[in-house]
Amino acid sequence: MTIEINPAGTTPPELIRNFCVIAHIDHGKSTLADRMLQITGVVEERNMRAQYLDRMDIERERGITIKSQAVRLPWVGLDNKNYILNLIDTPGHVDFTYEVSRSLEACEGTILLVDAAQGIEAQTLANLYLALENDMTIIPVLNKIDLPAAQPDKYAAELANIVGCKPGDVLRVSAKTGQGVKELLDLVVVEVPAPVGDANAPARAMIFDSVYDTYRGVVTYVRVIDGKLTPRQKIKMMSSGATHELLDIGVISPEPKSTKGLGVGEVGYLITGVKDVRQSRVGDTITDFVKPATQALAGFRDPKPMVFAGLFPIDGSDYPLLRDALDKLQLNDAALVYEPESSVALGFGYRCGFLGLLHLEIVRERLDREFNLSLISTAPSVGYRILMEDGQEIDITNPSEFPSGKVSEIYEPVVKATILTPSEYIGPVMELAQERRGQMHNMDYLSEDRVELRYTLPLAEIVFDFFDQLKSKTRGYASFDYEPSGEQVADLVKVDILLHGDPVDAFSSIVHKDKAYAYGVEMTGRLKELIPRQQFEVPIQAAIGARIIARESIRAIRKDVLAKCYGGDISRKRKLLEKQKEGKKRMKMVGRVEVPQEAFVAALQTNADSASKDKK
Amino acid sequence: MAALPEGDSAPSDGRLPNVGNLKNKPFSLYVHVPYCSKRCGYCDFNTYTPSELERDDQIDRWLQSAIKETIFARKILGEELTVDTIFFGGGTPSLLEASVVKEFLNSVSKHFTLKKDLEITLEANPDTITQSKAEDWRKAGINRISLGMQSSAKNVLQVLDRTHNPANVLTSVEILKKAGFENFSLDLIYGTPGESLEDWSNTLKDAIAINPPHISAYSLVIEPGTKMGSQLSRGEIKAVSDDDAADKYQLAEVMLTENGYLWYEISNWAKENKECQHNLNYWKGNNWWGIGPGAHSHINGVRWWNKKLPKNWRESLDQDQSPALARENLTNEQIRNEEVMLLSRLKTGIDKADFDQKNVEKLIKDKLVNEVSGKLELTLEGRLLADVVFRQLTA
């Protein structure tokens, strides 16, 4: 079925509906999008593939959307008018809160999609709050009603309670079978307000996504607020003042299609030939160069990295490859920042800043998968603001930058965290949050047996294994989400780990005073197990400044010889020694101590692995 | 059973590349007798019990193929070399009938020149020695016995799966002496799980009391794939720490030195002039041909090793083909590495001048080597850290 529609650029705003879908991972957002593509006829049956809109392998495999996209769907409303529905996909994770907020900003309404077998999750709730702050129309929908485990009545009541509607208003669909999806599209036409804007005012369009494409350069996704954008038009980015020419402009349906322009309320893409997404930043306002708007749209900001980690190639000769790979990733990831770093233990690498833990994980995974780089990551840390007694203020993102002079106050970033848990686990969850220096703000029963807890937590306390701990204490039932919420003064110290008196930079950590001892004992103990015995005794110490807080020691090695070496042993023994010699070349020297890189990797992995799971 | 090293494929005709003059170094024969009545728990040598072999590969068929390989060796070497030493190892060579030993040595003497008074050693299990057998061995030409005593602690022998009674060692030595064997070695193992320092001290005392001309003492290595290896991985036995092994090595050094035994290789001590000449040939990089399944050979920088299974070894020889499985043509660097690795294990040491003096100085400073008239000699600590010394010297 093909619907006669107004070509893009000429659609009257009253026939446009811009909406997005807020959902938790696995609650069926991509499947719902697939079904909408099919039902509206923009993708023919034979061309259909699962999760059509998810472009990266990582997205498809992990079932998350990293970058958003917009697709233009024609739809005949119940009033028989030909509407244009723009489905704007939102990134599915807290790390991308800012990007989510821009995607929401481009819409007038949102579908709140919840799995009828699982109920709402913390992250969905957080995004819902964002939508509510934006005064958007919310359409609550239960998905997967075809599942035997579905409990639509229970979760409809829960949703109604959260959104403030009647349980009967919650639409029930199965994105998988298509049941209820037509009704949902009709409801979008009825419920979501049409966009409003001044067609005669100077052009203003908001960038809600920006993607690097190898062939076309940066593809920028925009929502036009006022005026009109046309091909060959000279445009200006209002935050930077940079000017570009519109080489191509069009809509996605679901493949890119050039148009004669985009008018008020319309959503589409534009191409200017820039090669780096940082020149076309999410949240920025595009206007006409000749007749510019005076006022940029509100809400633009530079995404600030929150979590930092050193990335080092396991094979030192991969360093130039790592640099090239980061350069390439940055073309498509304006939030990724990095600078060269060198470490005694790990050699040359990059100190990278990320929006959050998932962002870190995604970057690491892409470096591994797309660039084939084996990397070791230091434990993730956060940035601190340090006030010195002499009044000087220092920002640090790496424990190695911790000043040696007299510190007056240290400020650490904090987050507002939302935890949803079955009520039977409230006790353990509260214990965990308290252990992590959390301050509870409120506790709400979403339904009889599900509770929402809101905390302020130091970001540094959740970059380690917080999520793992939460999951294990609640048998996997709790969900967790957070958003940055300023900073607080904290009693923090830097703990150094010394090997034979020499600090091992990769293990220095800024921790709360009460946890310094535990960190010291843990790290010295772990290194004792991992570092091979040397020809001399090697003390391993944890220290705050000059004060030793924990100590282990590796006794000197006394035996390193093969007892037997007869005729039949010689070849094997020689090969063994030659291999050991090769291994020795890869040893890192910390002062006089030889440490195999694997030991550092293993010591760090225990941290990093648990931290990297701390996502979703 | 320990895997053979990896190597290049060996040509079936066994022909060697141009290896130069063969007469400029001593040439030895190693003879592998891969039979045991029962396999010991720690053993990773190429050995077989009767039930594991076909009729044609039982011990009574060994001689035929061994002689074939002797003739094959002569053909490949292309000249009649003088044999400096012969060593029957195993397995349990003492299971061989003395007549078989005799016939084999006769065959060797037909195809090679035997050096006058050459050392001919046979490894023996104390359980297999009888007076008449010992006398026949002696008559056949064997003049040195390497006796597997291992330990005098019953609990240790049990863990090792050794069948003999410690008292048999004494009896065996009496028999051997009576048969005219003046030259023999007692082979000891230390560091068996469950062995106390006192057990080891008693073993050393008992061995010294027998007053053998030669004692070897090996730190037990539990190899994967052996019975003890499985016991270890199942947690039934506990690995002995390196520190325990080091303590026991030092105890051996003290007790043996006090009783007139001098170390001449890391795991070997002897009274004056009683060093094992055959093993010294290995360590000095001399040439040898290994006869028997899985035996290794070395001829001027070419190493090879035979097929492990007696059947495969036999069938190759039956077709007048080389029984070698694979070989290695050593590069100059590999030859040098072997030289450093082997010579540094010896009391006689290795020339100091051939190394980067910075590395040497560090080793001297760390008290791992001493300089003795231009040679580097391992200290007691250095003997226990010989691999460290090797890596440092060749760094």
Q: Per-residue DSSP letters for B320-387? A: T---EEEEEE--HHHHHHHHHHHHTTBTT-EEGGGS-HHHHHHHHHTTSEEEETTEEEE-HHHHHTHH
A513 close to B (CB below 8 A): no
Say yes or no to pLDDT of B74 above 70: yes
Q: Can you read off the two tokens belonging to residue A412?
A: 């650490």
Which of A535, A573, A574 is the mutation pick for testing B, counting most B CBs within 10 A?
Answer: A574
Judge whether residue A63 has pLDDT over 50.
no
**Chain A contact probe: residue of B280, B286, B302, B341 with most A CBs at under 10 A:** B341
**Residue B64 is assigned to a structural domain of this protein:** yes
Alpha-carbon span B290 to B297, nearest angstrom: 5
Cis amide leading into B91 (omega within 30): yes
Q: Could you tell me the CATH number of the domain that includes residue B119?
A: 3.20.20.70
DSSP letter for A387, please. Answer: E
Q: Which residue, of B283, B309, B339, is where some domain finishes?
A: B283
pLDDT in tens, A209-245: 888 887 888 889 999 999 999 999 999 999 988 999 9
Average pLDDT, chain B: 94
pLDDT of residue A500: 95
* pLDDT tens digits along B271-324: 999 999 999 999 999 999 999 999 999 999 999 999 999 999 999 999 999 999
Q: Are B234 and B369 in a shared domain?
A: no
Provide the pLDDT for residue A53: 63
Contact B394 A574 (CB under 8 A): no
Q: What is the mean pLDDT of residues B122-136?
A: 94
CA distance B254 to chain A (A): 17
Phi, psi (5° rounding) for residue B106? -60, -45
Name the amino acid, one letter, at A199.
Answer: A
What confidence tier does A606 reach under pLDDT thresholds 50, 70, 90?
A: low
pLDDT for residue A478: 86
At residue A441 the predicted structure's pLDDT band, cuts being 50, 70 and 90, is: very high
Q: Percent of chain B scored above 90 by pLDDT?
A: 88
Task: Give the pLDDT of residue A609.
Answer: 45
The Cα A258–Cα A249 span in angstroms is 6
Specify whether B144 is located in the same domain as B66.
yes
Residue-level length of chain B: 395
Nearest to B345 among A555, A565, A574 (CB): A565
Shortest CA distance to A475 belongs to which of A422, A554, A436? A422
Q: Residue A563 and residue B342: Cβ atoms within 8 Å?
A: no
pLDDT score, position A122: 83
Judge whether A567 is closer than 8 Å to chain B, CB to CB.
Answer: yes
Which helix (H) or strand (E) segment holds residue B256: the answer is helix B242-258
CA distance B112 to B252: 39
Residue A599 has, within 13 A of its CA and on its CB side, a CA count of 26
Contact A580 B5 (CB under 8 A): no
- Give the full edge-to-edge strand order of the sheet including A248-252: A243-245, A234-237, A285-288, A204-213, A217-226, A267-271, A248-252, A256-258
Looking at residue B151, its amino acid is S
What pLDDT does A314 receive?
85
| Residue A177 DSSP SS3 | coil
Q: Which residues of B touch A587 (CB under 8 A)?
A: none
Does the residue B212 lie in any domain?
yes
Q: How far is residue B381's CA from residue B385's CA, in Å, rounded to a whole number?
A: 6
Least confident of A122-126, A425-429, A497-501, B341-345: A122-126
- Cβ-defined contact of B246 to A559 (cutoff 8 Å): yes
The answer to whether position B313 is within a domain reads no
- In which domain, by residue range, is B376 found? 331-395
Please check whether residues B80 and B216 belong to one and the same domain.
yes
B5 found inside a domain: no
CB A234 within 8 A of CB A194: no
Q: How far is CA A179 from CA A27, A189, A232, B261, B339, in A?
A: 15, 18, 44, 92, 80
3-state secondary structure A567-606: HHHHHHHHHHHHHHHHHHHCEEEECCEEEEHHHHHHHHHH
The pLDDT of residue B44 = 86
Residue A554 tokens read as 């590796």
**Among A160-169, A254-263, B174-183, the range of highest mean pLDDT:** B174-183
Instruction: Give residue A212's pLDDT.
Output: 82
- Can you tell me the mean pLDDT for A354-374? 87
Indicate if the alpha-carbon torsion angle A104, A110, A116, A119 is positive or negative.
positive
Contacts of B91 in chain A (CB under 8 A): none
User: Helix A597-612 crosses helix A357-371 at what angle (to 10 degrees)?
Assistant: 130
- Name the residue among A385, A390, A389 with its Cα closest to residue A414: A385
Segment A476-494 mean pLDDT: 90
Buried b (16+ CB within 10 A) or exposed e, A290-301: eebbeebbeebe
Q: Which of B226, B257, B283 is the endpoint of a domain?
A: B283
B212 and B361 part of one domain: no
| pLDDT of A354 above 50 | yes
B257 and B389 within one domain: no
CB contact under 8 A, B391 and A563: no
A&B contacts, CB < 8 Å: 99
Residue B84 belongs to some domain of the structure: yes
Whether pLDDT at A4 is above 60: no
Rounded to whole angstroms, how far apart are CA atoms B208 and B219? 18
What confidence score (pLDDT) does residue B268 get? 98
Residue A590 has pLDDT above 50, yes or no: yes
Chain B interface test: which of A533, A558, A575 (most B C-beta within 10 Å): A558
Burial B97-127 (b: 16+ CB within 10 A, else e): ebebbbbbbebbeebbebbeebbbbbbbbbb
Please list every residue in chain A whose beta carbon sits closer than 8 Å to the beta carbon of residue B384.
Answer: 558-561
Across A328-332, A595-599, B223-227, which has the greatest mean pLDDT?
A: B223-227
Q: What is the mean pLDDT of residues A383-391?
A: 95
Judgement on whether residues B266 and B349 belong to the same structural domain of the protein: no
Q: Are residues B117 and B57 in the same domain?
A: yes
B332 falls in which pLDDT band (50, 70, 90)?
A: very high
Instruction: Return the structure tokens found at B6.
Output: 């990896």
A1 band by pLDDT with thresholds 50, 70 and 90: very low
pLDDT, averaged across chain A: 88
Report yes or no for ipTM above 0.90.
yes
Mean pLDDT along residues A582-586: 79
Residues B139, B145, B151, B157: is their CA dihedral positive or negative? negative
Residues B23 and B158 in one domain: yes
Do both B215 and B349 map to the same domain? no
CATH assignment of the domain containing B360: 1.10.10
Question: What DSSP letter does each residue of A457-522 carry, written as one string?
Answer: EEHHHHSSSHHHHHHHHTTT--EEEEEEEEEEE--EEEEEEEETTEE-GGG-EEEEHHHHHHHHHH
User: How confident is residue A24, by pLDDT bands cut at 50, 70 and 90?
Assistant: confident
Nearest to A535 among B218, B366, B383 (CB): B366
Is there a contact between A50 and A118 (Cβ–Cβ < 8 Å)? Answer: no
Considering only CB atoms, which chain A residues are within 8 Å of B290? 567-568
Is the domain of B338 the same as that of B279? Answer: no
Cβ–Cβ gap A561/B385 under 8 Å? yes
pLDDT at residue B6 greater than cutoff 80: no
- Residue B383 belongs to some domain of the structure: yes
Number of H helices, E strands in chain A: 14, 32
In this structure, the answer to whether residues B339 and B395 fall within a common structural domain is: yes
Last residue of a domain, one of B225, B250, B283: B283
Check whether residue B29 and residue B93 sit in a common domain: yes
The DSSP output letter for B35 is: B
B88 occurs within a structural domain:
yes
Domain count, chain B: 2
Please state, for a pLDDT cut of 70, what percent of chain A lies above it: 92
The CB density around residue B52, as the number of other CB atoms within 10 Å, is 13
> What is the full DSSP assignment across A295-345?
SPPTT--PPPP-EEEEEEESSGGGHHHHHHHHHHHHHT-TT-EEEEEEETT
Residue B324 domain flag? no
